[in-house]
């Protein structure tokens, strides 16, 4: 009762895993194991937190990167493009190598959760941002994105999740955009695709979700229909003069 349904179900899944391992190790007989794991999932849903990043806000942030200029600005624009235009998680972005990018096809091989690999295709703007970064980075094998010193020198090392977050946060502040999280960029990616008419199964594959219900949470069309339906009626309130 103290936890959100998703959190409670994760706890139950962890408990079932421990019990199963105990049974495999002979520390629990089969009958006791079956009784112990006979736990009903917690029902219910919560309203999604976070927000979508608009096209205008994305343009403002990319403009801030361009205004910054140099390798640092190009790197941050490419990172933002991968989050916003590719729907990648932070860990997936920093885990990319140059070899994962097929320049001719505009395709990335992304290693997601559970060691699962998926293919992601970039839109024209994201490709352009990545190409601008590669003109600074070069073709040396190694991490796709790397640190840039204050003097503008590139180091062939891997960015951390936190350093990527700080870079995007700096550009957000420079652009004067309201706060958002990196996951909000992923939420915007999924919602924009579904709004544009992409089918749920395709968006699920692009985002690397194992469960289509997870992808369905990004669908904004239901909220828009509810808003339109609510405006079909009228409550006869007149404020006092």
Q: Just list the catalytic residues.
A: 89, 113, 183, 186, 209, 218
Strand partners, 121: 107
Strand partners, 208: none
With b for 16 or more beta-carbon neighbours within 10 A and e for fewer, the 125-149 pattern comes to: ebbebbebbbebbeeeeebbbbbbe
| Residue of 173, 100, 171, 166 lying closest to 130 (CA atoms) | 100
Cβ atoms within 10 Å of 190's Cβ, excluding its own: 25
Helix (H) or strand (E) holding 37: none
Pairwise CA distance, residues 229 & 225, whole Å: 6
Strand partners, 118: 110
Q: How far is CA 85 from CA 58, 81, 238, in A?
A: 10, 5, 46
Cβ atoms within 10 Å of 175's Cβ, excluding its own: 17
Pairwise CA distance, residues 61 & 40, whole Å: 45
Q: What is the dihedral of CA 100, 101, 102, 105, to 10 degrees?
A: 120
Question: Tokens 């409670």 label which residue?
Answer: 8
């Amino acid at each position: 009762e103290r936890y959100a349904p998703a959190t409670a179900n994760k706890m139950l899944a962890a408990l079932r895993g421990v019990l199963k391992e105990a049974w495999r190790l002979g520390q629990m007989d089969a009958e006791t194991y079956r009784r112990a794991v006979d736990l009903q999932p917690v029902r219910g849903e919560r309203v999604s937190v976070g927000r979508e990043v608009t096209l205008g806000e994305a343009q403002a942030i990319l403009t801030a990167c361009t205004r910054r200029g140099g390798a640092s600005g190009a790197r941050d624009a490419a990172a933002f493009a991968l989050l916003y235009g590719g729907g990648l998680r932070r860990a997936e972005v920093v885990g990319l190598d140059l070899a994962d990018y097929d320049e001719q096809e505009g395709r990335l091989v992304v290693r997601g959760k559970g060691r699962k690999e998926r293919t992601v295709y970039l839109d024209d703007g994201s490709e352009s941002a990545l190409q601008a970064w590669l003109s600074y980075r070069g073709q040396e094998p190694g991490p796709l994105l790397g640190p840039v010193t204050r003097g503008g020198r590139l180091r062939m090392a891997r960015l951390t999740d936190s350093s990527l977050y700080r870079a995007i946060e700096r550009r957000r502040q420079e652009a004067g955009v309201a706060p958002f999280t990196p996951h909000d960029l992923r939420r915007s990616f999924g919602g924009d695709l579904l709004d544009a008419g992409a089918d749920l199964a395709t968006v699920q594959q692009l985002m690397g979700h194992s469960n289509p219900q997870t992808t369905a949470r990004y669908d904004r069309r239901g909220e828009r229909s509810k808003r339109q339906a609510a405006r079909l009626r009228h409550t006869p309130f007149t404020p006092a003069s």
